[in-house]
């Protein structure tokens, strides 16, 4: 560990905490202390925190008081995470409708931040983020970075959109945030919305000047940067790790990023709304859920618990937000929990693939959902990029996007690497989709560009089709 990291952890972070009334130092130490808890100890910790939170909700939050009374429940009925199914799922729609009722009566005596979810995930939603949730999510991130050998206080370079690179706060807030990023996080952030060759070149030069210990950002942004570096035969500085977050990490993206930066990729998943966070460890078998701070359930469309291994809606209970409590909050992503524990020995359950925003999953007319992995299989025949055939196909396709209209018909937009590539090269894509989408029209279209969303995130799948349940 560098001297700056030691100074950061034991002096700068505590000073920042004093100024801002936060407890990053304590949260970091706490997550390190619970890293190796046994399964029973983790459950005991979770259940204790859950019981306290439920009592608080019943006594102080009008929305939950009503929900409990309508179901003839009292806090004594919710003792363990298995009891949570007695409560309904909290959707973004319900939050919009009952915003005022969800604020705790004692919120004015607590410290919180105003939060909102962006337009890339549907209609924006407002909520309040308890400063304790803010602290703990960062504590978990620091621990996740440590699994990659990166200590907070070492230099970081970030390339991401508006969820990680804030631009719109007031001058004083931006100054404080700038100081925090510069001296405590030592994180140089770049907005990735622009991915033209000129912009990629400027990110590259900034990266080389920065010479960070780790790179962080949206999977697609880092993939485009890696590809730019490779195509232009540019040298790269050595880094310990690359951290991806904010969107689905396609296996092809992981492979390219690792190959170009010559460093392992560690994926992470999280959302401040719902206080959920999961990080990949050095075994790369899945993403460890930060179970000290949130309870994650995977449920079907009716809020019923699904067994491990089955894909469903991610529902999170934030154990630290007492200002605007999230009990069984439907985050808006599809994922599954792995049946097997991680071979690193940590008992925090693993999220398998996070399939991504629900809006991006596509369904055929028979109601079968298709995850991104299956879509990748259909686009590239199989996901084994070590096969020459697969690599050749991949090198012919610059980018793609699948669009499904209200009728369930599919347009697959492909930007070919070679503008003279015959359309017939991708006949197999149409055949694959046609076989899985009986009754839907499937067409392949060549396009010059697929623009990213205003958030800077890439949407490989846009669907307006509502599946029959
Ligand atoms: Zn592990």
Write down the domain spans for the chain: 3-357, 361-463
CA distance 278 to 289: 4
CA distance 375 to 361: 9
Residue 298, beta-bridge partner list: 314
432-441 pLDDT, tens digit per residue, is: 899 889 999 9
In this chain, the answer to whether the domains covering 3-357 and 361-463 adopt an identical fold is: no
CA of residue 287 to ligand 1 center, whole Å: 8
**Using CA atoms in the order 180, 186, 192, 198, what is the torsion angle rounded to 10 degrees?**
130
* pLDDT surpassing 70 at residue 162: no
| Three-state SS at 19 | helix
Q: Which of the 8 DSSP states describes residue 167?
A: -
User: How do beta strands 410-416 and 397-404 pair?
Assistant: antiparallel
Highest mean pLDDT: which range of 173-177, 311-315, 460-464: 311-315
363-401 pLDDT, tens digit per residue, is: 888 766 665 556 766 776 554 444 566 667 767 877 788
Write out the two tokens for 53. 């939170």
CA distance 273 to 333: 12
Highest mean pLDDT: which range of 121-125, 212-216, 227-231, 393-397: 212-216
Residues 6+ apart with CB under 8 A from 373: 353, 355, 383
Does the CA dihedral 129-132-138-144 come out positive or negative?
negative
CA of residue 309 to ligand 1 center, whole Å: 17
User: φ, ψ for residue 7 (rounded to 5)?
Assistant: -60, -40
CA of residue 462 to ligand 1 center, whole Å: 33
CA 39 to chain centre: 25
CA distance 387 to 452: 30
CA of residue 147 to ligand 1 center, whole Å: 9
Q: Can you state the angle between helices 372-380 and 251-261, rounded to 10 degrees?
A: 80
Highest mean pLDDT: which range of 192-206, 320-334, 378-392: 320-334
| Three-state SS at 469 | coil
456 or 376, which is more confident:
376
pLDDT at 376: 65
User: Across residues 222-248, what is the average pLDDT?
Assistant: 92
CATH superfamily of 3-357: ANL, N-terminal domain (3.40.50.12780)
Instruction: Give helix then strand counts, H and E, for the chain.
Output: 14, 19
CA of residue 129 to ligand 1 center, whole Å: 28
User: Across residues 62-89, what is the average pLDDT?
Assistant: 96
Q: Out of 141-145, 299-303, 328-332, which region has the weakest mean confidence (pLDDT)?
A: 299-303
Residues, beta carbon < 5 Å, ion ligand 1: 281, 283, 342, 344, 346
* Alpha helix segments (H runs only) across 61-170: 62-70, 92-97, 131-146
CA distance 332 to 51: 25
Average pLDDT, the chain: 87
- CATH code for the structural domain at 361-463: 3.30.300.30
CA of residue 37 to ligand 1 center, whole Å: 13
CA of residue 251 to ligand 1 center, whole Å: 19
CA of residue 349 to ligand 1 center, whole Å: 9
pLDDT at 307: 94
CA of residue 341 to ligand 1 center, whole Å: 8
CA of residue 170 to ligand 1 center, whole Å: 40
CA of residue 350 to ligand 1 center, whole Å: 8
Residue 430: which of 418, 446, 447 has the closest Cα?
A: 446
CA of residue 441 to ligand 1 center, whole Å: 43
CA distance 249 to 457: 12
Whole-number percent of the chain with pLDDT over 90: 54
* pLDDT surpassing 80 at residue 193: no
Under the phi-then-psi rule, with left for phi > 0, alpha for psi from -120 to 50, and beta for the rest, what region is 174? alpha
36 or 178, which is more confident:
36
The DSSP secondary structure of 202-223, one letter per residue, reads: HHHHHHHHH--SEEEEEHHHHH
CA 118 to chain centre: 13
Does the CA dihedral 95-83-140-203 come out positive or negative?
negative
CA of residue 280 to ligand 1 center, whole Å: 7
CA of residue 325 to ligand 1 center, whole Å: 29
* pLDDT surpassing 70 at residue 191: yes
CA of residue 343 to ligand 1 center, whole Å: 6
pLDDT grade, residue 417 (50/70/90)?
confident
CA distance 193 to 116: 19
Question: What is the H or E stretch that residue 179 is in?
Answer: helix 171-179
CA of residue 123 to ligand 1 center, whole Å: 35
* pLDDT surpassing 70 at residue 47: yes
CA of residue 286 to ligand 1 center, whole Å: 7
469 or 249, which is more confident:
249
* pLDDT surpassing 50 at residue 121: no
């Amino acid at each position: 560990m560098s001297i700056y990291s030691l100074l950061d952890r034991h002096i700068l972070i505590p000073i920042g905490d004093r100024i801002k009334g936060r407890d990053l130092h304590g949260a970091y130490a706490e997550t390190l202390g619970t890293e190796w808890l046994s399964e029973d100890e983790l459950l005991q910790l979770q259940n204790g925190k859950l019981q306290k939170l439920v009592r608080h909700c019943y006594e102080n939050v009008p929305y939950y008081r009503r929900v409990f009374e309508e179901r003839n429940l009292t806090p004594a009925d919710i003792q363990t995470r298995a009891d949570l199914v007695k409560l309904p799922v909290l959707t973004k729609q319900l939050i919009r409708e009952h915003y005022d009722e969800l604020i705790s009566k004692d919120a004015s005596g607590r410290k919180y931040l105003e939060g909102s979810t962006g337009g890339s995930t549907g209609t924006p939603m407002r909520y309040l983020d308890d400063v304790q949730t803010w602290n703990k999510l960062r504590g978990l991130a620091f621990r996740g970075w440590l699994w990659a050998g990166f200590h907070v206080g070492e230099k970081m370079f970030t390339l991401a959109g508006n969820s990680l690179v804030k631009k719109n706060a007031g001058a004083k807030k931006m100054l404080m945030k700038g100081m925090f990023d510069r001296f405590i996080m030592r994180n140089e952030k770049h907005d990735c919305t622009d991915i033209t060759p000129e912009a990629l070149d400027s990110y590259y030069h900034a990266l080389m000047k920065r010479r960070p210990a780790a790179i962080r950002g949206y999977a697609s942004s880092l993939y485009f940067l890696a590809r730019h570096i490779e195509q232009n035969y540019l040298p790269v500085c050595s880094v310990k790790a690359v951290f991806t977050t904010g969107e689905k990490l396609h296996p092809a993206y992981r492979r390219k990023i690792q190959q170009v930066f010559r460093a392992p990729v560690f994926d992470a998943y999280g959302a401040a709304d719902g206080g959920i966070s999961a990080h990949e460890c050095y075994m790369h078998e899945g993403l460890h859920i930060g179970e000290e701070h949130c309870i994650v359930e995977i449920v079907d469309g009716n809020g019923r618990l699904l067994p491990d291994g089955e894909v469903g809606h991610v529902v999170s209970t934030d154990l630290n937000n007492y200002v605007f409590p999230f009990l069984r909050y439907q985050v808006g992503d599809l994922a599954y929990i792995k049946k097997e524990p991680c071979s690193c020995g940590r008992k925090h359950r693993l999220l398998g693939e996070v399939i991504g925003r629900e809006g991006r999953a596509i369904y055929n007319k028979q109601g079968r959902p298709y995850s991104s992995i299956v879509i990748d299989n259909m686009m590239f025949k199989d996901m084994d990029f070590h096969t020459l055939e697969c690599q050749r196909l991949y090198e012919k396709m610059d980018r793609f996007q699948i669009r499904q209209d209200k009728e369930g018909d599919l347009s697959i937009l492909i930007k070919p690497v070679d503008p003279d590539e015959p359309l017939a090269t991708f006949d197999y894509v149409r055949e694959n989709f046609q076989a899985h989408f009986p009754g839907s029209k499937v067409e392949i279209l060549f396009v010059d560009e697929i623009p990213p969303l205003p958030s800077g995130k890439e949407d490989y799948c846009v669907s307006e089709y509502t599946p029959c349940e």
